Amino acid sequence: MEIKLIKSKNSKISNVDYDNLGFCKYYTDHMFICDYIDGSWQNFIIQPFQDLSLSPACTTLHYGQTIFEGLKAYRNQEGEILIFRPDKNAERFNKSAERMCMPKIPEDIFIKSIEELLSVEKAWVPEGEKNSLYIRPISFALDPYIGIKPADNYKFMIICGMAGGYYSEPVNVKIETHYTRAVSGGVGFSKTAANYAAALYPAVEAQKEGYHQLIWTDGKSHEFVEESGTMNLFFVINNQLVTPPLGDTVLDGVTRDSIIHLSKLLNIDVDVRKVSVKEVISSLESGSMSEAFGAGTAATIAPIKSIGYNNKKYNLPEISEKSISNTLLNKLSNIKFGRELTELNWLKKISK
């Protein structure tokens, strides 16, 4: 696989306010782009970050045949650049592609294009424990076609943006029992635009009531909690860490998977099982829920401050140093920044 490099003449990096990175407020100087034409991926180019030109009849704009990923690269104390679990994102990207009738990207192309782009953009990976470079691979249909069928032509691209924290404070979430994010047999497990677009209206309604996010419940009975749209969910109930199972309605989060794995290494009692709304509320009422948090690439581990249900707000205790979420966050950070060597093989170092 040959990647053509067209370097940008002027870097934008001097505009970065490192004290105010925000989340993807600053895109890097370059992007990766390639085409799917006649049944194969071709024309691999790293070029200056720029706008695209699309036909107004492009099927993505009308019918939403598009998928994406999110992963992060970190700068360790030696200044080396480490990408966290890109193979898991490649795997999930291809699961999404299959469900959306889109061409898969071979894992070696997915990872090599990220590595090559990052070796050009190394300077953009910020220092700091809370900072990273967010990497956003995306694929979308290109055909100028009005009508319903899978497209023949696609683009695969990677853009990157500097990332500080996604949530600046512990979050208030509302249990949603009217609107539905996903149903069995649908596309809930797929990282596709439709899931996020459909969630906007209910999320905006909840934001008017002071919530940051929703806790989605199953689309059939609304009795079981599933995920939060930007994050998977974890609860500590009677000192046990519990998280809902995946199925086809929940996104298979890389952070979720890492947390389950690390909990086992740390001898934290962890259970993947159905969690009912009833259990969430009764454990909040009795005080047996000591922690709740979301887990996602953008959000990392985001403590939940309060949970709303039926016009009532239930507050959670403040997170202490010794809390399970803090213990997991520290462990995860140590691994991501390469401070703790493990046999997990979760890091890909940019060698060039």
Residues that bind ligand COI (CB under 6 A): 70, 230, 296-298
- Min dist CB 304 to ligand COI, Å, is 16
d(CA 57, CA 68) in angstroms, rounded, equals 21
- Cα–Cα separations (whole angstroms), residue 347 to 11, 157, 217, 268: 28, 22, 34, 23
Nearer to ligand COI, 284 or 301 (CB): 301
Smaller CB distance to ligand COI: residue 70 or 86?
70
Nearer to ligand COI, 71 or 142 (CB): 71
Q: How far is CA 287 from CA 128, 251, 261, 291, 306, in A?
A: 36, 29, 27, 10, 13
Contact 270, 241 (CB under 8 A): yes
Distance between CA 90 and CA 82 in Å, rounded? 16
139/290 with CB nearer ligand COI? 139
In the complex, what is the shortest distance from the CB of residue 266 to ligand COI, in angstroms, rounded to a whole number?
23
Least distance (Å) between residue 297 CB and ligand COI: 4
Whole-angstrom distance between the N-terminal and C-terminal Cα of the chain? 17
Question: Considering beta carbons, is residue 48 or 165 the nearer one to ligand COI?
Answer: 165
Report the residue number whose CB is nearest to ligand COI: 70
Nearer to ligand COI by Cβ, of 297 and 325: the residue is 297
**Cβ of residue 99: shortest distance to ligand COI, in angstroms?**
17
Q: CB 250 → ligand COI: shortest distance, Å?
A: 14
- Report whether 57 contacts 145 (CB < 8 A): yes
Taking the complex as a whole, how short is the minimal distance between the CB of residue 141 and ligand COI, in angstroms? 20
- Cα gap 316→318, rounded to integer Å: 6
Q: Are 97 and 120 in contact (CB under 8 A)?
A: no
| Tokens representing residue 30 in the block | 């370059």
